[in-house]
Chains A and B, each alone.
Chain A
Amino acid sequence: PRPDVHPLPPGTHLLFAQSGRIEHVPLDGHDMKKSDAKALLHLPEKVVIGVAYDCVEKMVYWTEITSPSISKASIQGGEPTAVIQSDLNSPEGIAVDHLGRTLFWTDSMKDCIEVASLDGTKRRVIVDTDLVNPRAIITDPPNGNLYWTDWNRDAPKIETSYMDGSNRRVLVTDNLGLPNGLTFDSQSSLLCWADAGTHKLECMHPSHGDRRQVMEGIQYPFGITSFGKNIYYTDWRRDAVVTVDRYAGRESDEFQPQKRTKLYGIATALAQCPSGQNYCAVN
């Protein structure tokens, strides 16, 4: 009944940010059910950048830069609630560790990566050196790894660390331009990124380092997420969500919302949490 919070039907969905709203497109198999796309949340005064999803409590989390904050709302309907409101300058990428029950984000003005519990408590800076334009951040909860991009025009890079910021390593520096988007597919253990400078989609196994190109000639990717065989990315030139079949290496579909304005972060809201246990529980 609330026009600003539409509960989502069961199933897997794409959630993405467009200024002033978070939209969703249901997935039918791996295909976007574009006719059923609609706004999940209206946040008319906000500029939402990053979107993440907690499959346990079925909550969407987002970063917002006009009154810099991190908030959450149930995708089954419910009030948006602020999680973090203080000491943020330009929070961009956001990621949830659904096993550890924590939240990670990048701040492109503080040039740091922070972590907090999903309720906003136990907040801590875990990386605050050698960052210029940190943007995308993602988690690999079963293995306890964190990945992020920095689109510093002088030295763009993709990095990894453990979830406490230790064991930090640079994964990619060569042939990068503006790595705006990053996604990790836990089934294939592939880390994939979208680059608005080289106009390429590329993937690699973080442990073996075998890097390969999925597609080139894409326009201006910002956010990216993966689900099974597909990669979905938001594009600033096309104002659209583009589907790429990563095995075929070609674009297979596009969704352009009625409102023509930039799309930002995108996340897959899985119907169920992927199997896997917390890396801490293994030891």
Chain B
Amino acid sequence: DATRGTPNDCQPCPCPAGATCAVVFKTKEVVCTNCPAGTTGKRCELCDDGFFGDPLGQGGPVRACRACKCSDNIDPNAVGNCNRETGECLKCIYNTDGFFCDRCKEGYYGNALATNPSDKCKSCSCSPLGTVDHQTACSQVTGQCPCLPNVAERDCSACQPGFFNLQSGNGCERCNCNPIGSTN
């Protein structure tokens, strides 16, 4: 307030060098208006969209704003790809998931960090008849679905040798063939 006539009427902006500031009329709050490149917020304490960090070190050491780190599993045309403070990835693509889009999302398996998108995460496609409780999730690394008793294959789609009746939905039953009359 420059009209009071005291030496403290005008105070320096509580903003990083180069920024300007203004006082919000109603709340008397001081807001920085031209934060340095890549930063924003009332005190230039936040990173621009698509970046994360802690440019003023409010929650610990200063972390300059860096581009979202999401294992090449985000799309640059999207907005809000990561949390501006923590860097948590919010818009993973190619069926990936996790803080850094670094693992496959539920129902998919493979290597989220593979270079080629088609090599990344494949659908579990568990066979509903052979899978425990008709689950759709599998091991994110091997892709093995949780099979019912005596059911085989990654996707639980077949009976183990010597077993039959996958259709029952309760696992496969022993064939009980007479060893004398059977071929193997």
Contact = CB atoms under 8 A, between A and B. Distances in A.
B2 interface: no
A108 B46 CA distance: 23
Contact of B42 (A45, A133, A258): A45
A42 B77 contact: no
A42 B78 contact: no
Nearest to A151: B77
A219 to B, nearest CB: 13
Given A19-B40, A20-B40, A44-B40, A3 B79 contact: no
A27 interface: no
Tell me what chain B mostly uses at the interface: helix, strand, loop, or mixed. loop
B166 interface: no
Nearest to A178: B77
Given A19-B48, A39-B33, A261-B37, A4 B22 contact: yes
Nearest to B26: A2
Interface residues of B, number: 26
A217 interface: no
A3 B48 contact: no
A218 interface: no
B49 A19 contact: yes
Contacts of A151: 77
Which A-B residue pairs are the 3 nearest by beta carbons?
A: A3-B22, A2-B25, A20-B40
Interface of B: 22-26, 31-35, 37-38, 40-42, 46, 48-50, 75, 77-80, 84, 91
12 contacts: A2-B26, A3-B31, A3-B33, A4-B22, A19-B49, A44-B40, A47-B79, A49-B79, A133-B77, A133-B78, A151-B77, A196-B77
Given A4-B22, A92-B79, A133-B78, 19 more contacts: A1-B25, A3-B22, A3-B31, A19-B48, A42-B33, A44-B31, A44-B32, A47-B79, A47-B80, A65-B79, A66-B84, A108-B78, A109-B91, A151-B77, A153-B75, A180-B77, A259-B34, A261-B40, A261-B48
